[in-house]
Structure 1
């Protein structure tokens, strides 16, 4: 006689080899939409495909697509604009939360928080970086310096940001990397919007010693250089007047 075992809910356990019902289809679509945003396939500012286009791409009904898009928008990653379309506005739910939490906050205080993360990242990067990451940091530093020499303001900002992200990635702390990326997404856009085309020597800081210390795996020097750079960047943010613009000269500073 077969014993009918059951769990605490009174339901019998699934038969051996039986796969429980997959999560609802709408959840799968939500996961797909989030992945396209997180992976960068859909970047901030991009308008995503229309509802009929998405439904056709994913092979689901328009009702399912509509529900999934609304859920992702509710979480702060998408903005549904009537008559215009749906746009990507954040790459993670945490960014949306941070924007609400820090709305009206002094940008210099946000910069201080990000600087603290950068110092810790540099310390750990010097201890944990791989040979491949060391080569990548050297290449990113060279790209930053080349952009500065040719007076390419936007290229310099992009290269500077990539170099700092590279240092954080070399810390080999996934949580630190994720929080840093989200915090940068909150802080950097206002600075970029107010930045201009002019690169001034007074607004430049040399990162050669910082990157060199990380490559040599000299953690104390890397920490010290990161602290120096962080103090400089905090001063730039305080002087930049993010809320009202950089001023009439619209000078570029590193982010």
Structure 2
């Protein structure tokens, strides 16, 4: 059947939803290049024009980034995250840190209430990975493990919207961590907001969890000069 003009937008919306689902499910990771057009066209059973409409829609929402001559990459795992990343470019480090304080403290409070044994085991494993990377001077791996730790605290909160909002801080968080790491005397293994936080979560002590996060973020603010 030949598609009419009225059918094309409906099909493009359907393909957009399928691509969105692939990204959201983790089939394609952040910063990963998605398959080339011919492969996606065959897999989804659509024309090049329909596929490009869908990719354009997700690029506009901030989930995908089309790099001319290179391909298309995953930029965010949801429209919320994509929009947030665009917004961060227009705000100061101080504004971003103030928002993080709100999200981090609430994530810590809820994690102390809702975290499951598997969350605690994964958090402890990330602390070990973070420590080993720092001690071996693999600062990229250290920053990645530190970020994964904080994302997991947000996930352990049991609030999927808070977790999704927190994930949107990924690029900013990495940049700030590596900026701090380059400063002389910086301690890359603070116990506040990390080891202490895990102990508070394990003890279901919401107040101690929030206090640990606040002390860690106050230290971050000092190093960033905000």
1:74 aligns with 2:56: no
> Displacement, 1:233?
1.8
> Displacement, 1:106?
0.9
Task: Give the structure with the higher percent helix.
Answer: 2
1:191 corresponds in structure 2 to 176
- Partners of 1:192 and 1:226 in 2: CA distance: 16
Question: What are the residue-to-residue correspondences of 1:131-150 with 2, within 5 Å?
Answer: 131-150=117-136
- Please tell me whether the aligned partners of residues 44 and 90 of structure 1 are also in contact (alpha carbons under 8 angstroms): yes
Alignment RMSD, CA only? 2.6
Q: 1:219 aligns with which of 176, 184, 206?
A: 206
Tell me the TM-score normalized by structure 2: 0.82
> Displacement, 1:199?
8.7
2:221 corresponds in structure 1 to 234
1:60 corresponds in structure 2 to 46
- Partners of 1:33 and 1:151 in 2: CA distance: 38
- Please tell me whether the aligned partners of residues 37 and 43 of structure 1 are also in contact (alpha carbons under 8 angstroms): yes
- Please tell me whether the aligned partners of residues 180 and 186 of structure 2 are also in contact (alpha carbons under 8 angstroms): no
Q: Which has the larger radius of gyration?
A: 1
- Partners of 1:82 and 1:135 in 2: CA distance: 42
- Partners of 1:199 and 1:54 in 2: CA distance: 48
Q: 1:193 to 1:130 in 2, by over 3 A?
A: closer
> Which blocks of at least 5 consecutive residues in structure 1 are unaligned?
1-22, 240-255
Q: How many residues align structurally?
A: 216
- Please tell me whether the aligned partners of residues 147 and 173 of structure 2 are also in contact (alpha carbons under 8 angstroms): no
- Please tell me whether the aligned partners of residues 126 and 148 of structure 2 are also in contact (alpha carbons under 8 angstroms): yes
2:109 corresponds in structure 1 to 123
> Displacement, 1:202?
3.6
Q: Name the SS for the 2:225 alignment partner.
A: helix
Q: Name the SS for the 1:121 alignment partner.
A: helix
> Displacement, 1:225?
0.9
> Displacement, 1:236?
2.6
- Partners of 1:192 and 1:224 in 2: CA distance: 21
> Displacement, 1:201?
5.0
Q: Which moved more, 1:68-77 or 1:193-202?
A: 193-202
> Displacement, 1:102?
3.2
> Displacement, 1:186?
4.7
> Which blocks of at least 5 consecutive residues in structure 2 are unaligned?
1-8
2:87 corresponds in structure 1 to 101
- Please tell me whether the aligned partners of residues 147 and 174 of structure 2 are also in contact (alpha carbons under 8 angstroms): no
1:179 aligns with 2:165: yes
- Partners of 1:191 and 1:62 in 2: CA distance: 40
Q: Name the SS for the 1:104 alignment partner.
A: coil
